[in-house]
């Protein structure tokens, strides 16, 4: 296979991004873009370097990263554990189904003002918003995974006197992994929305605050640095989730 065919995705994708950025930068250099309403690649890069050297950017990234990591970590643990239980025990499912459906379809953003009333404007409200955003996709997908389990495997486990706990850890959770990871990927996307929105609403730190502040002060370059960081975080986290998915699917027949 030729070099081009082997790296087709990287070459074509890279070329298209490079072309778009070049056109954007040319338009910026030509003065066709008002810095009040938009920005240019070189200005964004310069703002990034400056804020980075100053240390404020690192502090904002650390703050947002911590909010996201705490909320998302709690959501993953709670979503998988509760998802297995709700998927397994039919009566429990009937009890919680109305609430899960209501929360899953309501934009969690609608809850943000209430959450700020509960937890204040500090880290607590941000972590909880991320948690709430990521929890439901993970829960709903885990429940679907447990409901779709192979009944032959469950019967085999029972025939060897497996306890419910043993069935959860040896059949239900590993068998639901493809579903769980689909939920985790959706949870990443929803959790990132949660962290940005949470910081926009209240507080004076984080990437979300940086974006909101940039907009209010017509500092479009600052605003774009924040958007780029969130986009980059989304790409990296999705890539990690996909790697995880592939790691857990190595027993599948190769396609």
Contact positions vs other proteins (CB under 8 A): 150, 152-153, 155-162, 166, 170-171, 174-175, 177, 248, 251-253
User: Where do we find the tokens 């924040």?
Assistant: 226
What is Dmax (Cα atoms) for the chain? Answer: 75
Of the two residues 157 and 228, which places its CB atom closer to other proteins in the complex?
157
Structure tokens given for 96: 């919680």
Task: For residue 253, give the DSSP letter.
Answer: P
Of the two residues 16 and 170, which places its CB atom closer to other proteins in the complex?
170
Question: In the complex, what is the shortest distance from the CB of residue 80 to other proteins, in angstroms, rounded to a whole number?
Answer: 16
Of the two residues 16 and 163, which places its CB atom closer to other proteins in the complex?
163
Question: In the complex, what is the shortest distance from the CB of residue 170 to other proteins, in angstroms, rounded to a whole number?
Answer: 7
Question: In the complex, what is the shortest distance from the CB of residue 174 to other proteins, in angstroms, rounded to a whole number?
Answer: 5
Of the two residues 31 and 253, which places its CB atom closer to other proteins in the complex?
253
Q: Quote the CA–CA distance of 172 and 198 in Å, as a whole number.
A: 34
CA dihedral 225, 231, 235, 241 (to 10 degrees): 120
Q: Quote the CA–CA distance of 127 and 80 in Å, as a whole number.
A: 18
Q: Quote the CA–CA distance of 43 and 51 in Å, as a whole number.
A: 12
Structure tokens given for 105: 């379809």
The CB density around residue 245, as the number of other CB atoms within 10 Å, is 16
Question: In the complex, what is the shortest distance from the CB of residue 142 to other proteins, in angstroms, rounded to a whole number?
Answer: 16
User: Where do we find the tokens 């502040």?
Assistant: 213
Listed residue (233, 228, 223, 184) closest to 83, CA to CA: 184
Of the two residues 87 and 214, which places its CB atom closer to other proteins in the complex?
87
| Cα three-residue angle 146-88-167, rounded to 5 degrees | 80
Q: Is 181 exposed, middle or buried (0-12, 13-18, 19+ CB in 10 A)?
A: buried
Question: In the complex, what is the shortest distance from the CB of residue 150 to other proteins, in angstroms, rounded to a whole number?
Answer: 8
Question: In the complex, what is the shortest distance from the CB of residue 82 to other proteins, in angstroms, rounded to a whole number?
Answer: 22
Of the two residues 5 and 252, which places its CB atom closer to other proteins in the complex?
252
Question: In the complex, what is the shortest distance from the CB of residue 250 to other proteins, in angstroms, rounded to a whole number?
Answer: 8
Of the two residues 37 and 160, which places its CB atom closer to other proteins in the complex?
160
Q: Quote the CA–CA distance of 120 and 112 in Å, as a whole number.
A: 11
């Amino acid at each position: 296979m030729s070099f081009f065919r082997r790296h087709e995705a990287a070459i074509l994708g890279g070329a298209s991004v490079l072309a778009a950025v070049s056109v954007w930068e040319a338009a910026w250099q030509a003065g066709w873009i008002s810095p009040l309403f938009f920005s240019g690649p070189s200005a964004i890069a310069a703002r990034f370097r400056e804020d980075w050297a100053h240390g404020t950017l690192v502090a904002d990234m650390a703050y947002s990263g911590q909010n996201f990591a705490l909320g998302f970590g709690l959501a993953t643990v709670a979503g998988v554990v509760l998802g297995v239980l709700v998927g397994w025990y039919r009566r429990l499912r009937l009890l919680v189904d109305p609430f899960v459906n209501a929360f899953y379809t309501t934009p969690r953003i609608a809850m943000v003002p209430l959450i700020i009333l509960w937890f204040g404007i500090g880290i607590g409200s941000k972590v909880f918003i991320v948690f709430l955003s990521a929890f439901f996709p993970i829960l709903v997908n885990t429940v679907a995974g447990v409901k779709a389990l192979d009944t032959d495997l469950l019967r085999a486990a029972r025939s060897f006197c497996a306890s419910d706990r043993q069935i959860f850890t040896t059949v239900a959770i590993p068998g639901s992994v493809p579903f769980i990871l689909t939920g985790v990927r959706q949870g990443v996307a929803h959790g990132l929305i949660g962290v940005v929105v949470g910081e926009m609403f209240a507080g004076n730190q984080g990437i979300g605050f940086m974006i909101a502040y940039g907009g209010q002060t017509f500092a479009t370059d600052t605003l774009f640095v924040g958007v780029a960081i969130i986009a980059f975080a989304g790409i990296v986290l999705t890539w990690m989730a996909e790697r995880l998915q592939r790691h857990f699917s190595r027993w599948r027949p190769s396609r």
